[in-house]
Every structure is written in structure tokens, then in C-alpha cells.
Amino acid sequence: RPGRGAERPWVCMAIMAAPPPSAPGEPAPPPPPQPLQYSLLLQHLVGDKRQPRVWDPAVFGGIPCPPKSEEQKMVERVMESCPFKAALACVGGFVLGGAFGIFTAGIDTNVGFDPKDPYRTPTAKEVLKDMGQRGISYAKNFAIVGAMFSCTECVVESYRGKSDWKNSVISGCITGGAIGFRAGLKAGVIGCGGFAAFSAAVDYYLR
């Protein structure tokens, strides 16, 4: 019938796109590939069919990290314990306090002078003796404060289960209050507030 091909052009296109029939004895051509569905692809990428991948730094060119031995774990537990932190802070405070005491004694003009005879010039031995005594005194005080603060902070952090600025403020208040209460309630409150503020400032600066 004239005009049927113009009315239905898709019939001609289907006939032209159809594969030619295979000759007898020849293998049949493979079926055309099915279109890939986007939903199936998503299931393999982010869905339930996604396979977990083991992180191996050596595969990506990183430095391999071997598993830790029992000795290494034991050393880490010891270094993270409260007694070790307190002892380390005590040693650090002793060294820092001694250096600070010697420095303050070196710039003090009254070191070595005898109050009974103020006009006598002190000898070098007397000056060094006074500097050593002041350095030892400062070192002991700094060591006690450092050990108390570090041990209190470790206990507070273990109790709270968090590592933030509140641990420093609480431990600073406890340490300052314990030191100040020896001179009375007012001194204890002032020491608590002063140490807490100082600890918060140091923690803010370090973080």
C-alpha cells in the first residue's frame, strides 16, 4: 500500500538493524549485551553487595605497620599509667624548679649577705651556697606540684573517660586548693581559682 513506509519508519529501521541470518554450519552470533542498570551498580558500590576491603598500607605504597608485640603493649601501658606520668612530672618539675631557683638567686642582690653584718662583702662560696639552697627549695616545691597535678589529671581523665580542657581545670583546682588549704580556707579558694585559670590558659595555648 503506498505511503505505509512513510507512516511507519521504525519498521524499516528494525529490518535494517537486524543481523543477517547465519549460514548453515556457522555458529550463531552472540546475543547483544544487556544494558547495565544503575541500581545494580549502586548495590555493588554502596549497597548490600559491597565487599569490604581490608586496609593494607603496603598495597597503596605506604609503610607497613606490623602488629605490636606483648612487650610493646606492656611498655605502652606502663607509660600511660598514672604513676609513671606522676613520676615523670616530678622529675621535670624538679629540674625546672632548680633552674628557676638558681636563676632567681643569681639576679637577687641579697644572696650571700649576712643580716648581722650587712656591710661585709659575701664570698663566692657563700653566694654559691645560697644559690644552691634556693635552687633545691624551688626544685622540691615544683616537683611536688608537678606530681600532684599530673596524678590528679590522670585520675580525673580516667574517671571521666575524656581528654579535654576540663581535666586540666579540675586538676588545677584540686592541686591549688590542696596547697592553699594549708594556710586557711580563703587561701585554698584563691589557690583553686588561680591554678584552675592558669591550667586553662596553658591548655588553651597548647591546644
Q: Which position has the grid cell 549460514? A: 23
- CB-neighbour burial class of residue 129 (10 A; exposed 0-12, middle 13-18, buried 19+): middle
* Dihedrals phi, psi of 123, to nearest 5 degrees: -85, 165
Q: How many percent of the chain have pLDDT more than 70?
A: 67
The candidate with the shortest Cα–Cα distance to 153, out of 137, 176, 183, 134, is 176
Work out the average pLDDT over 56-80: 73
Work out the average pLDDT over 177-194: 89
* pLDDT exceeds cutoff 90 at 16: no
Q: C-alpha cell of 87?
A: 613520676
For residue 116, the model assigns a pLDDT of 75
Chain mean pLDDT for the chain: 78
* pLDDT exceeds cutoff 90 at 31: no
Residue 109 CB neighbour total at 10 angstroms: 6
